Structure 1
């Protein structure tokens, strides 16, 4: 399994969603006025998540394209 396979990228996506959800849960659990903190966390994490999603789609399309082309 290489670093470009869809399964590996999907596993990375699941881990990132798990850790983001866990961090948001801990923020909400430990803070009384935590809505501004949660909004800041979501804003800050939106950029890497969008970048990761674009990378995942691009890698998946390249993987499919390479799979369809005949090997010489």
Structure 2
């Protein structure tokens, strides 16, 4: 197994933890934390749509605006 192969699961794990932290911050209406987690990030359209729906449930227009500004990865 190459070091590249062992790094990929670790990277995926960090990505999953980052996404989980983002969902938690959205649910808890933690605007500053959401802003920090979204800094210099892009995401897939499906992820972005889900997070926008989640933010919409809390009617937090600031978090919705932060999410809308995130670029979608092709």
Establish whether TM, by shorter chain, passes 0.5.
Answer: no
TM superposition score normalised by structure 2: 0.44
Higher share of residues assigned helix: 1
For the pair shown, the structure with the greater C-alpha radius of gyration is 1
TM superposition score normalised by structure 1: 0.45
